Structure 1
Amino acid sequence: MEGEREEQRECTQSGTTFTQVDTLTQNCGEEPQNLQESQKDEQADNGVCDGEVEASQEDSDHLSPLPSGGQKVNYQTDPRPHFGVAWSSHSTCRPLWGSEGPCWEQRNLEAPDQTHTCPHCHLGLPADTLRWHEVGTGTCKIQTKMDNNNALRGKSILEESFVGEDKDSEEETGDDDSDLTDEGGESSSEKETSGWGLLPHVCLRHVFNFLSDRDRMRAHVVCHHWHKVMRSPSLWRFRYFHFSGRLSKLRLSEYCSAVAYARSFGVYLERLEVCVCPPRRSLAAQRVEQAICGLFSELTRLKAPLKSLSITRLELDRTCWTLALRNSLVNCLIQVLRRALRLTTINLNWMRNSMQQGIELLSALSQSQSRFPPPRCYISSLHLEGFFSSSVHVHLNSNVPSMMHHLRGLTDLSLSYSSMSDELLLALQHRNRGGRQNRSRDRITLQTFSLNCSINEPHRQLVCGSSWATLASCSPDLQVKITVHQIINTDRLARILLPEIPVSEFTMIAFYAPDEGWTARPILYDMLPHYRRSLQYLTLDLSNCTEHLDVELVELVKMCERLEQLGIWAFLEVTTVEKLLHIRLTQRKLLNKIRVRIYSNSDSTVEQEDQLEQLLSSYVRLPPELEFFAIIYPYV
C-alpha cells in the first residue's frame, strides 16, 4: 500500500493526470509544494524523460479543473488538449495537458509527413526525431559511434587523409562544388563526412542498376538525394517478368505486382521481357492470362514507349489453355502491336498458336508497318521460332509470305523450318521494292536469318537452292544460322543443308542409339565442308558411342577458314584435344574459343582426367585471347 502511495505521489508531482479505480488517488493532490518545485528544477536540468513534459503556470491557468480523485476521465470526449494514450488496460494514461507535444521545444508547424535528412548519416527522419538524433554532441549518434570505433581500430590516419583529399578536391572544383551544394541541399561539411554524398547522379544510377526491386524500394527512402536519383527514367527502362500462375504466401500475386509496376514506372518502360512457365492446370493458365492482359492494358493506357517486346514459352497448344483464354491473350497482344508505335524488336518464340490466331497476329503486325508514314519506326528484329503449333503445316499457307513482304525494315529474322518455302524466300527478296518509302529504307537488307529445325515439326518440304542463291545475292551481308534438333535422317538433312545457303553458324544436337543404324560421318565429310568459307560458329553434341569421329572432326576444323568458336560434345580420344590446340596455334588464328566435353562410358574417369592434365601441362603459355575449356564427362 505504501508503494502504491509513493507511485501516486510521483505521478502527481510530475503534472500528469491519470485515471485510477483505487481510492488511494484521493491523497495524490496533498503533496508538499516544495517537493513539487524541487522536482520541476530537476526536470529542467536533466531534460525530458519519456512521456513526461512539464506544464508551465500559464498553461494551467486557462485549463478546466482536473477531475477529482476516483473519477474516470474519457480522453476521447475531453475538450482539453492531450497527447498521451493508455499503454494497456491496466497501465496509467499520460495526457500531456498544457504542453506543445512530446518534446522539450516548440513543435514544428511543418507538414506532419515532411522529413529532413541527417547531414552526417543521410537518414530521412521527421523534424522532432532529427533533434533527438543530433542531441548533445552536435552530430548524429550513429556517426559518433562510428567515429569512436574507427579511432579504437586505428583508422584515424586514413580518415584524415580522406578528409584532406576531399578538401583538395573542393578547392580545385571551386564554383562547381558550390552549385552542386545548392542543388542537392547539402553543405560542404556534409560532403566531407559522407562518401556517398560526393557521388554524382551518373555513378549512383550505375550502382542502382544492380539492385533488385526490393532493394530499390528501400534505397529510395534513404534521403531526398537518393529518392531523386531513383526516379531517373534510365533505371526503369528494362523489366523482366516471370509468370507461372502459382500463388505464394510471401509475395503479392503476379497480377498485382505487374499492374503496380506498370502504374508506377510504365511511362519509362522501353524493353519488356515476359517469360512464362508453361502451366499444367486451367486455374494457373487463368492467372497467367490475367497477369499478362492486366500488364498490357495498363501499358497501353499509359502509352508506354516500348521499343522491345518479348513473350516466350506461352505454349498455347496445351490443353489447360481454353479457347476463351487463348482468344483473350491474342486480342490483347493485337492491341499492343497496333498501338505501340516505337516497336523495333518483337520476340514471340514458342507461343504455339493455331493457324488462325497466328495469321491474325501477323496481320496486325504487317498492318502496323504499312499504316503509318515513313517517319515511324520499323520492326528490325522479329523472332518467331515455334510461333505456330507443331501440327500446323505453315509452308502450305500463302498468307505468311505476303505478310512478311510488308516488313520492309527487317534485318534480323528467326523462324522455324516448318515455315520455310520458296514463296517466303521470294517475299524476302522483293520486300524492299515498291511502296511509299524513302531512299534510306530501300537499302535495308536482311542480315541475319535464323532457322530452327526440330524433329517434332514439319521439315520434309523441299526448298530450291536457287531461291537461297537469289536471296544471298540480294542481301550480300546475309548470315544464316541453322539449329538442328534430333534429326538423324541423312536424306532430310541433305534437303535442309543446301550448298547455296551462306551458313555462318551451325548447331546440331543428335542423340541416337547404336541400333538405329545412323552415322554422323556424311554431315562431317559431305555437308558441312560446303560452308568452309562462311562457317564461323560450330557446335556439335553427338552420342557416337559406337563410332569414332576424331579424324573427321579434326579435318573439318582444318577446312573451315573463318572458324571463330568451336564446341564439341562427343565420345573422343584425349589426344584429339591436343590436335585441336595445335591447329589453333599453327593454322587458325581466328579460333579464339574452344570448348570440348569428352563423354565417357566408364564409371571412373580418373585415368582419363590424369591423361588430359598431363597433356595440357605442356601448353602452359596459351594466347591471352584464347578461351579454352576441356573436361571428361560421364555419359548417362
Structure 2
Amino acid sequence: MAAGPSWSVMPSVLIVEIFSYLSLKDRLRASSSCKRWRSCLFHPSLWCGVVLNLSYSKRQRTRFLVERCGRFLRQVVICFNSNNPTEVRECLRILEVLSENKVIASLGLQPSSCHLEWTCEPPFYVTDRYLTCIEKIISTSRKLKHLSLGSVDQLLEHSHTVLELLSRYHCDRLKALHLASVKEDSENYGIIDLNVDLIRSFKALQHLSIDYDFLSSSLLEAFLSTEKDQLDRLCIHVHGIEPDHEKITNETWRKLRNRHPKLEVTINLIHSYEGVANLLDILQPCLPLTNFRQFFCSNLNMAAVDFISTHHSESLRSFYVIDGFQDGYPNLYISTTEEDPFVMMAWRCSKLEEFTLIGYEVLDDNVVAIARLRGQNLKTFNIPYSCVSTVYETDGENAMQVERYVNPELADMVSSSLGWSWQPLPDNQTPRAVYDDQADAETAYMKILHSDQAWKCK
C-alpha cells in the first residue's frame, strides 16, 4: 500500500496464489501484464502436471517449457509421433532433462505406435539411450508414484531392469506401474525373463498393467497380503499364449476379488488369434471384468461373448470390438443361440455404458434393441454405417432377404431410446485399417491403451 496502487509491486506470493485459480489460457494472458508477473508464471507450484506435445506446431513451446520447468515438474505426459525420428529425438531430450528432476511423481509416454523410429544410429542405440534416461529418472526421483512406458515393445523388453530399480528405490510409494506391451506379430515374439516376484515388494500399488504372458496365480496371490494397499485396476494385454501357460483358477480370482472388492479388470486382446480361441480359458466367473476389448483379432468367440454377458453382468461397463473387413465386406458372426448375443448382453449387463462393434455386420433391428434395453445408461454406441444391414420381406421363394443399407428411421429410433442424438459411425470416421489391411492398425487403438495407463491414482 505504501508503494501506491501498482499491480507490479504486489508480493509474489499473492500473484502466484491468483495464478493458481486461473486456467492455463488465462494464466498466460495475465503473465503478459508485466515482467514481474511473467516471472511468477514459472513458479513450481503452478506447473505440477503438464502434457508435452512434440508435434511440429507445438514443439517450440514445449522446448521452452521444458527448459524453464523441466527440473521441477511433478506429473509429465509426453505425446509424440514415434514414427517421426525428429519427435523421437525430442522426446529423448526431454527425458534427459527429467533425469535431473528429483520431485517428479508421474511419468507417462504416449507414442503413436509401439515402435521407436530413428535414423542413422542402430536401433539398439536408441533403446539404450532411452533406457539410460528412464533408469536415471527412477534412481534420481524421490517421489515417483506412476510410470508408464507407453506399451513400447523396445523398452519393455528391458522390463526386468526397470522393475529391479523401482523395487529398490520406490517399493513403498509406487502406486501405478504399466508394463503391458503391444506385439504387432502375436505369433512370433520372444518371452523376456521378467522376475514378477519383485512386484511383491510394492506395498502401495493400486494400478498394474501387464502382459498375459507374465500373469500367474503366484503374482495375483501376492496382492492377498493385508499389508498392501487396495488394488483398484488390473489391465491385461493378451497376445500369444504359450501351450504351457498356467490357467488362473476361479478360486484365485475369488480370493483376489474378496481382498480387493473395488478391483476392476480390463482385458485387451491385441492381434491375438490365440487369445480369441482360448478366451474361455482366460475368463473365469469370479474375474471382476469391467472392460473387454478386442483389436484386430480376425474372429469373434461367440461362446465367450455369451459367457461374458452371463457371468460378468454385474461388472461389465465397456465392450469394444474392432476388426478388419474381409474382401471388402463386414464379417459375419454366428450366434450359438436363437437370440442375438449382443442384444442379450445389453439386457443382462446392467452397468454397460460403452458398446462398440466395428467390422461385423449387425441387423438394424438388433441396433434398435440394444439402444432400447440400455436406454440413457449407454453413453457410447459405435456401429459404422457400412456394418448395418436391414432385413425385409419378399414375396418370392426366399421369405427374408438382407440388404446392406441404413433404414432412414434408424437414427431417430435409436436416438429416442438413448436420449441423445445418435448416428451410425460415418465411414470417414472409421479407422482406415478396417477397410485397408495395409493401413496402420495402431492408430485405432493406441489412444485407448494410453487412457488405461493414465495417472488416475488417489
User: Is this a same-fold pair by TM over 0.5?
Assistant: yes
Q: Deviations over 1:324-344 (max 9, x none)?
A: 432232122111101111111
Match of 2:253 in 1: 468
Q: Secondary structure at the match of 1:631?
A: coil
Residues 159 and 179 in structure 2, CA contact (< 8 A), matched pair in contact too: no
Q: Deviations over 1:466-492 (max 9, x none)?
A: 333332233222111112234345541
Match of 1:484 in 2: 269
Match of 2:443 in 1: none
1:337 and 2:122 are equivalent in the alignment = no
1:210 and 2:11 are equivalent in the alignment = no
1:535 and 2:316 are equivalent in the alignment = yes
Offset of 1:181 from its aligned partner?
Answer: 6.5
Q: Percent identity?
A: 16
Give me the whole-angstrom Cα distance separating, in 1, the residues matched to 2:43 and 2:128. 37
Match of 1:576 in 2: 366
Match of 1:392 in 2: 190
Q: Deviations over 1:220-264 (max 9, x none)?
A: 4442464255234344333333458xxx8x99889xx64x54442
Offset of 1:203 from its aligned partner?
Answer: 6.3
Give me the whole-angstrom Cα distance separating, in 1, the residues matched to 2:332 and 2:142. 56
1:184 and 2:184 are equivalent in the alignment = no
Give me the whole-angstrom Cα distance separating, in 2, the residues matched to 1:206 and 1:609. 50
Residues 345 and 379 in structure 1, CA contact (< 8 A), matched pair in contact too: yes
Segment of structure 1 superposing worse, 330-339 or 467-476: 467-476
Compared CA separation, residues 627 and 568, structure 1 to 2 (3 A): farther
Residues 300 and 339 in structure 1, CA contact (< 8 A), matched pair in contact too: yes
What is the one-letter code of the residue matched to 1:231? Answer: F
1:413 and 2:208 are equivalent in the alignment = yes
Select which of 497, 509, 529 maps to 2:295.
Answer: 509
Match of 2:75 in 1: 271
Residues 104 and 144 in structure 2, CA contact (< 8 A), matched pair in contact too: yes
1:223 and 2:9 are equivalent in the alignment = no
Q: Secondary structure at the match of 2:381?
A: strand
Give me the whole-angstrom Cα distance separating, in 1, the residues matched to 2:170 and 2:238. 28
1:525 and 2:348 are equivalent in the alignment = no
Q: Secondary structure at the match of 2:25?
A: coil
Compared CA separation, residues 266 and 525, structure 1 to 2 (3 A): closer
Q: Deviations over 1:334-372 (max 9, x none)?
A: 1110111111111112232478732111111110125xx
Match of 1:27 in 2: none
Matches within 5 A, 1:146-165: none
Q: Deviations over 1:253-291 (max 9, x none)?
A: 89xx64x544422344111122342347xxx38x845x4
Give me the whole-angstrom Cα distance separating, in 1, the residues matched to 2:153 and 2:123. 14
Q: Secondary structure at the match of 1:524?
A: helix
TM-score (norm 2): 0.71
Give me the whole-angstrom Cα distance separating, in 1, the residues matched to 2:410 and 2:372. 15
Compared CA separation, residues 576 and 179, structure 1 to 2 (3 A): farther
Residues 532 and 561 in structure 1, CA contact (< 8 A), matched pair in contact too: yes
Select which of 201, 224, 231 maps to 1:429.
Answer: 224
Residues 482 and 506 in structure 1, CA contact (< 8 A), matched pair in contact too: yes
Compared CA separation, residues 609 and 207, structure 1 to 2 (3 A): farther
What is the one-letter code of the residue matched to 1:630? Answer: Q
Select which of 470, 479, 499 maps to 2:285.
Answer: 499
Compared CA separation, residues 574 and 443, structure 1 to 2 (3 A): same
Q: Deviations over 1:542-578 (max 9, x none)?
A: 5663346672211121111332333333422222233
Q: More relative contact order in 1 or in 2 (CA 8 Å, sep 6+)? A: 2
Residues 509 and 541 in structure 1, CA contact (< 8 A), matched pair in contact too: yes
Residues 88 and 116 in structure 2, CA contact (< 8 A), matched pair in contact too: no
Q: Deviations over 1:410-461 (max 9, x none)?
A: 001111222222332233334x6xxxxxxxxx3512111011223xx44652
Q: Deviations over 1:502-558 (max 9, x none)?
A: 11111223463xxxxx55421232344221122122223356633466722111211
1:630 and 2:448 are equivalent in the alignment = no
Give me the whole-angstrom Cα distance separating, in 1, the residues matched to 2:221 and 2:425. 47
Compared CA separation, residues 613 and 404, structure 1 to 2 (3 A): closer
What is the one-letter code of the residue matched to 1:557? Answer: A
Q: Secondary structure at the match of 1:405?
A: helix
What is the one-letter code of the residue matched to 1:336? Answer: I
Give me the whole-angstrom Cα distance separating, in 2, the residues matched to 1:387 and 1:633. 28
Segment of structure 1 superposing worse, 383-392 or 459-468: 383-392
Residues 568 and 596 in structure 1, CA contact (< 8 A), matched pair in contact too: yes
Offset of 1:309 from its aligned partner?
Answer: 0.7
Which of these two proteins has the greater Rg computed from alpha carbons? Answer: 1
Match of 2:351 in 1: 562
Give me the whole-angstrom Cα distance separating, in 1, the residues matched to 2:309 and 2:3. 62
Match of 1:298 in 2: 97
Compared CA separation, residues 573 and 242, structure 1 to 2 (3 A): same
Q: Secondary structure at the match of 1:575?
A: helix
1:615 and 2:438 are equivalent in the alignment = no
What is the one-letter code of the residue matched to 1:361? Answer: V
Residues 572 and 599 in structure 1, CA contact (< 8 A), matched pair in contact too: no
What is the one-letter code of the residue matched to 1:526? Answer: F
Q: Unaligned stretches of 5+ in structure 2? A: 390-402, 428-433, 436-458
Residues 548 and 571 in structure 1, CA contact (< 8 A), matched pair in contact too: no
Q: Secondary structure at the match of 1:346?
A: strand
Residues 414 and 450 in structure 1, CA contact (< 8 A), matched pair in contact too: yes
Offset of 1:185 from its aligned partner?
Answer: 5.1
1:553 and 2:372 are equivalent in the alignment = no
Q: Secondary structure at the match of 1:311?
A: strand
Matches within 5 A, 1:33-182: 182=5
Q: Unaligned stretches of 5+ in structure 1? A: 1-177, 188-198, 433-441, 513-517
What is the one-letter code of the residue matched to 2:363? Answer: E
Root-mean-square deviation (CA, aligned residues, Å) is: 4.1
Q: Deviations over 1:147-184 (max 9, x none)?
A: xxxxxxxxxxxxxxxxxxxxxxxxxxxxxxx6996462
Give me the whole-angstrom Cα distance separating, in 2, the residues matched to 1:293 and 1:596. 37
Give me the whole-angstrom Cα distance separating, in 2, the residues matched to 1:487 and 1:316. 18
